[in-house]
Structure 1
Amino acid sequence: MINKFMADKLIISFEEYNRTVEKLAIEIHKKYNPTVLIGIMRGAAPIIDILSRILKLPIAYIVIQSYSGEGMEDKQGELMFAREISSLANNEDFNRVLLIDDLSDTGLTLNKSIEWLKNYGPTKSFIKEVKTACLWKKKSSSFEPDFCPVKLENDPWIVQPTEHYEELTIEDIIKKNNQG
């Protein structure tokens, strides 16, 4: 099921990623009937795209940035939320929310996002229920998502299929595609 371990890294292929999202969709379909999917950006972007197509649901996004400061790049810092949810969903769609992230690492992002969402002015009076979903839960995470197809027995760095783009420049991509 899980592709390769390299040191403390878990390398996920596109094929494995899509299969895991499909397993998540099946789990959600069997146990919950959400009225809107809310993705935590950036990690949830591809997940929410696929789930919204499978489950035929409206989507919304919240943007969160973790600021750690200089010398703390690998540590989670204070979470900063964008001012608004980005969505074309109607307020009434926010009745049964499924909040989605790519993984539950420490659990802090999901916990704080639920709290922020329940206090978000424009939709808070419409929210009756918030459930959570992610693809992977690390062993040391203190958060238990409602839906999660892969619960890891350790805490590897998860290398997702698009992550290599963070190391590339547009010039690298132009050169690779021979488009000078």
Structure 2
Amino acid sequence: MNLPPSTDRDLWVSWEQYHGLIERLALQVHESGWVFDKILCLARGGVRVGDVLSRIFDVPLGILATSSYREAAGTVQGQLDIAQFITITRGTLDGRVLLLDDMVDTGLTFSRVHDHLLRQFPGVTELRTGVLWWKGHAQIQPDYYVEQLPTNPWIHQPFEDYDSLRPHQLESWIRKGLRTAHPK
């Protein structure tokens, strides 16, 4: 599928580029020499990032649901909601934790989640952050990031096609060749 050209206002990302960014983030964390005990990803944007890094580093994965982009088909940031509980594959959230998301936009989510985690999980001894994209207007800087975006473009991620797809549309979507039954 051909994507429109990226501009200062819009960054278009293919699946291949997206997976490459995740791999580059994993390499950056590895090359830093920091050893962590667990990964906590923010759902929904950080789930894929967290899953891949959890597999590469072979550490438990935790998931914390947060939501702020709900209005106007997910394009307008509203009030931040942080889930009460964390789902984690092994044990509890403690030790050295790598907090992952897809991007730091304003920085509000990372700031609030950082404070929430340190308050709710006193066993966390160190917390570092990692993202694929760090936008220029963000109020915080993540510890690890792959691309800095000084012009703050809207990032069109490859999975956003699913935001407007409904189950009854799947058959015709696949038939038209918009997706194959087994995407790469």
TM range (shorter): 0.7 to 0.9
> Comparing 131-140 with 75-84, which one deviates more in the overlay?
75-84
- AA at the equivalent of 2:78: G
Does 2:5 match 1:8?
no
Per the TM alignment, residue 7 of structure 1 is displaced from its structure 2 partner at its CA by: 7.1
Structure with bigger strand share is 2
- AA at the equivalent of 2:146: P
Identical-residue share of aligned pairs (%): 30
1:176 maps to which residue? Answer: 173
- AA at the equivalent of 1:128: T
2:83 maps to which residue? Answer: 82
2:163 maps to which residue? Answer: 166
Q: 1:172 to 1:7 in 2, by over 3 A?
A: farther
Question: For the residues of structure 1 that align with 2:173 and 2:133, how far apart are their CA atoms?
Answer: 32
Matched residue SS, 2:77: coil
- AA at the equivalent of 1:41: A
Per the TM alignment, residue 177 of structure 1 is displaced from its structure 2 partner at its CA by: 2.9
Aligned residue pairs: how many? 171
Question: For the residues of structure 1 that align with 2:29 and 2:6, how far apart are their CA atoms?
Answer: 28
Per the TM alignment, residue 73 of structure 1 is displaced from its structure 2 partner at its CA by: 6.4
1:153 maps to which residue? Answer: 150
Q: Give the alignment of 1:6-45 within 5 angstroms.
A: 8-31=9-32, 32-45=34-47
Question: For the residues of structure 1 that align with 2:158 and 2:174, how far apart are their CA atoms?
Answer: 19
**Contact 1:36/1:89 (CA < 8 Å) preserved in 2?**
no
Q: Under a length normalisation based on structure 2, what TM-score does the superposition of the two structures give?
A: 0.85
Q: RMSD over aligned Cα, in angstroms?
A: 2.1
1:101 maps to which residue? Answer: 101
- AA at the equivalent of 2:30: H
Does 2:124 match 1:127?
yes
Tell me, which stretches of 5 or more residues in structure 2 are unaligned?
176-184
Runs of 4+ in 1 over 3 A off after TM superposition: 71-75
